[in-house]
Structure formats: C-alpha cells, structure tokens
Amino acid sequence: MQLLPLTPNGQTPVRALTIAGTDSGGGAGIQADSRTMALCGVHACVAVAAVTVQNTLGVSAFHEIPPEIVAGQVRTVVSDIGIGAAKTGMLASTAIIEAVAGVCREVGIGRDGEIPLVVDPVAASMHGDPLLHAEALDAVRHTLIPLATVVTPNLDEVRLITGLDVVDDRSARKAAEALHALGPRWAIVKGGHLRSSEQSTDLLFDGETFHELPAKRIATGNDHGGGDTLAAAIASALAHGYSVPDAVAFAKEWTFRCLEASYDLGAGHGPVSPLWRLHLGISGS
C-alpha cells in the first residue's frame, strides 16, 4: 500500500488535531488517534473532551471536561501551531458539542472553512457502554454533522442518527443519503459491522455519486479502536493534502493492516495496532 510520508528528523511535520476522549486502556480514543497520526507522519495535537475509566472489558465511568476548556484547547492550538485537518471522537454531551462547533466555526475548522473536519459520531463503546448522553443525539445530528467534511458512523451510530437499519447494499445507500441530508460534504456508511458478509464494503457518498470501497473482512475480536483509527487515518491523509476519496481509500487500507496487526490485551477486546508501520523504517519499504 501507499504509505503517508514520514518527515526527516528535525523537520516540522504536518499537524492534525483530535478532539475526543481518552482511553485509560490505551486502545481507542485519543490514544488510538495519536498513534495513527504519528505513524502517518503527522504531529498530533489533542483537545481532551472527556476522560474515560476504561479497560479491555468496558467503560465503567467517564468525566466530562468543561466545554470552555475543550474549546480553549482547540483555539490555542490553531492560533499557534496551525493544523491541516481535525477530527472529533467522543464528545459526551450537548454542551461540549455546542462549544466544539462554536470554536470550529470561529477558527475555520469544518464546512467550509480552510481546515477539513472528520466527524466520528461516537455514541457507545463496542461493549455497549454509553460514551454520549442520549439527549445529545440531536446536537450530533443538527450541530456537529453539518460541520463535517466527512462523517464516519458505524452501523449502530447510523441507526441512532438516522433511524435506519443497514442490512444490505440498498439500505446502506438509503442510510448514506439520509446522513448526507444532514449537511456533511461526504458521508461514509461503514460495512465493518455487517457480520454476515465476507466483505467489509464501505460506501462513500457526496450527494451525487456512490463510491464503493470493498475490503476482505478480518475475523478478530481484537478490533477495539478500529473506528477511531479509520477516522484518524482519514484526518492524517487530509492533513497531507489528499482529496476525501483518496484519504478514505488510504484509511481503509491502513485500518485493514491495523486489524491484521491487532493483539490480545487484558481479558476483553484487544486493540487494532498501527505499530506494524514501525517495522518498515522511514522509507516505508
């Protein structure tokens, strides 16, 4: 696969910002985003929105960062460091979503500011533990998603956001249209959780054309952080100047390799791993 270029020592890499929650188990959230960004040659800036109490068995609690502190992290990073792309993950509440949307509009992140925004509308962990208050779904639909350059829900999140069940290609197209109608530039419907299929085909839609991105399914229980990794890889490629379709195609291959390299951890779901990239050295071969 074509890898994103790493910067020679001492040179400033491109920058991206993740606005998301932490995972104390190190598998998902900000930890997954930062790892993928680093190994895609990107300096990762971080705006912490929530701190989760989490291991491989689940999320037992989370603490929300005050909305003005979340927005302040975004503002201060953009004004000094400058970023080529941003990504949102776990935002937990309506108040945080509104603060993030407000600062994004202020500094030119998202539709159609200069800085592209990947919105991963995180609602729950793979164990079913909530990462978003139910009352915040309206803010996800009408405040956050309309700002997105590209929105990347999994099938559970598609159901929560649109009310549509994706069971086949036809319903995936309907869901992509419903997501796109909320206002993002591009919508992805991920096929990864369609367990019955041999393939894991993602659908990318810009309001006119459907792009199908097939991949072979990998049967592993160690897929914690897979959604974060895909969205962070898209943001990394956008920061490097890729178009959205090229960034998504890159991210899909990246995530496939990270699923192949996933490992056992603790007693629950292990993480997808981008550490395979370290074995390739700076030239990537």
Among 153, 191, 226, 274, which residue sits at the site for ligand PLP (rule: CB under 6 A)? 226
The residue among 13 and 229 lying less far from ligand PLP, judged by its C-beta, is: 229
Provide φ and ψ at 130, rounded to 5°.
-70, 140
Least separation, in Å, of the C-beta of 80 and ligand PLP? 25
Regarding 64 and contact with ligand PLP (CB under 6 A), the answer is: no
Q: Judged by CB under 6 A, which stretch of 174-182, 194-202, 223-231, 274-282 contacts ligand PLP?
A: 223-231
Is residue 189 within 8 Å of 201, Cβ to Cβ? no
Q: Give me the DSSP letters along 90-127.
A: --BSHHHHHHHHHHHHHHTBSTTSSB-EEE----B-TT
Amino acid at 67: P
Regarding 158 and contact with ligand PLP (CB under 6 A), the answer is: no
Cα–Cα distance, 269 to 272 (Å, whole number): 9
* Residue at shortest CB range from ligand PLP: 29
Residue with tokens 């178009």: 243
Regarding 90 and contact with ligand PLP (CB under 6 A), the answer is: yes
Among 44, 65, 122, 194, which residue sits at the site for ligand PLP (rule: CB under 6 A)? 122
Regarding 28 and contact with ligand PLP (CB under 6 A), the answer is: yes
Is residue 218 within 8 Å of 105, Cβ to Cβ? no
The residue among 89 and 184 lying less far from ligand PLP, judged by its C-beta, is: 89
Element (H, E) at 190: none
Least separation, in Å, of the C-beta of 49 and ligand PLP? 9
Is residue 239 within 8 Å of 14, Cβ to Cβ? yes
Cα–Cα distance, 272 to 31 (Å, whole number): 12
Among 26, 116, 153, 227, which residue sits at the site for ligand PLP (rule: CB under 6 A)? 227
The residue among 116 and 227 lying less far from ligand PLP, judged by its C-beta, is: 227
Q: Are strands 42-55 and 85-88 parallel, antiparallel or unpaired?
A: unpaired
Least separation, in Å, of the C-beta of 124 and ligand PLP? 7
Residues that bind ligand PLP (CB under 6 A): 20-21, 23, 28-29, 52, 54, 89-90, 122, 125-126, 131, 224-228
